[in-house]
Amino acid sequence: MKKAICLISGGLDSSVAAYIAKNKAYDIYALSFNYGQRHEKEVKCAKKIADSLNAKKHIIFEIDLAKFGGSSLVDKKKQIRQVKDIEEIGKKIPSTYVPARNTIFLSIALAYAEIENAQAIYIGATSTDYSGYPDCRPEYFKAYQKLSNIATKKTIEGGTIKIKTPLLDLSKAEIIKEGIKLNVPFQNTWSCYQGGKKACGHCDSCLLRLKGFKEADIVDPIEYE
Amino acid sequence: MKKAICLISGGLDSSVAAYIAKNKAYDIYALSFNYGQRHEKEVKCAKKIADSLNAKKHIIFEIDLAKFGGSSLVDKKKQIRQVKDIEEIGKKIPSTYVPARNTIFLSIALAYAEIENAQAIYIGATSTDYSGYPDCRPEYFKAYQKLSNIATKKTIEGGTIKIKTPLLDLSKAEIIKEGIKLNVPFQNTWSCYQGGKKACGHCDSCLLRLKGFKEADIVDPIEYE
C-alpha cells in the first residue's frame, strides 16, 4: 500500500491536495501544526478533514513559531492587513509571512515520511492566486526535492520521498473545481486569518477564497461577517 | 555588527563551531533544542557554553521528535549500541540516527536567522570522525544552502544567510586542537548518548571523543565510568 504524509492546515488548498492524494490510492497520514497561529479554528477544521479522509493517523504537531515573533500570523500584537483592492495581493510579501514556515513544516513531514516509510508528502501550496510567499514558488519546491533526495537514510539508500504540489499551477477557481469533483467538504475548511465566528471577508486569504468561488461559479458554504 | 545563529547541542563539536563564530567577531544568538533526547544533560551543557560565549540570546526550542519515534536517541525503549570495535563506526547508519534532525534544526535556525537579520548559521557537523548520518555530509549542506538562498523573504530580496560548517572536513583530534586554541571549556561539554553521572565511554559518541583526545594528545577533562 502506498502511503502519503499530507500536510493539512484546515484551509481549502491543503484539503484539496489531501483529497487528490486519497484519489491516487494513497493511505493518508495527516500532519497538522499547532504553531502559535492566532486561533485554533484551523486545527479543528484539520481534524474534520482528516476524519473525512479516513486518515490512518493524524498527528497534531506542537511547534512554537511565536517564540521568535516576526509575523502577524503568530504575533497577536501585530495587525493583519485588511486589503481594499485585491490587485494588491501578491505584489509585496505581506506581514502574515511566517519566516521559513514551509521549510520547517516540510522538514518535520520528511522525518514523519521516513519513519512511516511513506513515498510522498502532499502540500497544498499554490503560486498562482497567492500572497507572494517565497516558500510557495516552484523553484523553492524543486530545491526542497533535491535536498530531501540526500537528507535521509531512506533516500540515500534508494528509497523515494516525493514532494507533491498538485495545486502549484492552479488558480483558486481551478482548485475549488477540483475539490468539488473529489467531494471535498468545503464547509469544514477555514481560510480566514482571523479567528472569528464567521470569516472576516477582508484579509488576503478571505479575498482570494471569495474570488475563487466567484470565478468557479460555486457558492462558498461557509459564512462571512 | 555581524550576527550568527549558533546551533549549540552541548556537545564538543557544536561548542567549537560556536567559538569559531565568536572568533570571527559575530554576535552570538545561541539556539538549542529540547527534542525528546534521552537526557537533559546536553541542554544544561549548552546553557553553560552559551553563557561562556556571552551570547546575546539563547533560545531553548522545544520540539518533540519523539512523537514519531524511530530512533534510539529519542525512544527510551530502544537500546543504544555499545561499540566494541571503533572501526565499526561510520560503516552503517546506527540506531541513534534521528530522521531529518539536521534538516529540522537548520529550518528552525533559518527562521531565527531571518527574524534576527543574521548573516550566518553555524553548525558543528563533521563528516570525518562521525557516525555516517546522511545529514552530516558536504553534499547535504550544499543542497541546504541552495534551498535557503530562495526560501526566505530576506534571501530572495538579496540578503544572505550562509550555512557555516567550519568542522566539516576536520578530524575529531583537529577539532579538539582548534577548541584548545580558542579556549573552549571542554569540561562543560557532553558527548555521551547516555545521561549518566559520568560518560559511559562505550557509545559511538564517547569512543569518537576519546579517540580524538588521544590523537590530539590532550587530556579530556570530563569523567568516564
Q: Which residues of chain A have pLDDT under 50?
A: none
Q: Which residues contact B79 (CB under 8 A, 6 or more apart)?
A: B72, B95
- A156 in B contact zone (CB under 8 Å): yes
CA A119 to the chain's CA centroid: 19
Q: What is the CATH number of the domain that holds A98?
A: 3.40.50.620
pLDDT in tens, B140-185: 999 999 999 999 999 989 999 999 999 999 999 999 999 999 999 9
In a domain, A89, yes or no: yes
- B69 in A contact zone (CB under 8 Å): yes
Give the C-alpha distances (Å, rounded to integers) separating A195 from A8, A43, A190.
Answer: 17, 11, 9
In a domain, A193, yes or no: yes
Q: Note down the domain range covering A54.
A: 3-216
In a domain, B143, yes or no: yes
In a domain, B162, yes or no: yes
In a domain, B223, yes or no: no
Alpha-carbon gap, residue A165 to A108, rounded angstroms: 17
Interface list for B 97-116 with A (CB within 8 A): 97-104, 106-108, 110-112, 114-116
pLDDT in tens, B30-57: 999 998 876 788 999 999 999 999 999 9
Q: How many domains does chain B have?
A: 1
Grid coordinates 571542554 are at which residue? B186
Residue B92 has pLDDT above 90, yes or no: no
Grid coordinates 529550518 are at which residue? B107
pLDDT in tens, B184-214: 999 999 999 888 899 999 988 899 999 999 9
Residue B98 has pLDDT above 80, yes or no: yes
pLDDT-based confidence at B73, cuts 50/70/90? confident
In a domain, A225, yes or no: no
In a domain, B222, yes or no: no
- B51 in A contact zone (CB under 8 Å): no
Please give the angle made by the CA atoms of B20, B26 and B30, to the nearest 5 degrees. 80
Task: Determine the pLDDT at residue A128.
Answer: 82
| ipTM value for the complex | 0.93
Q: Which residues contact A220 (CB under 8 A, 6 or more apart)?
A: A186, A209, A210, A213
In a domain, B69, yes or no: yes
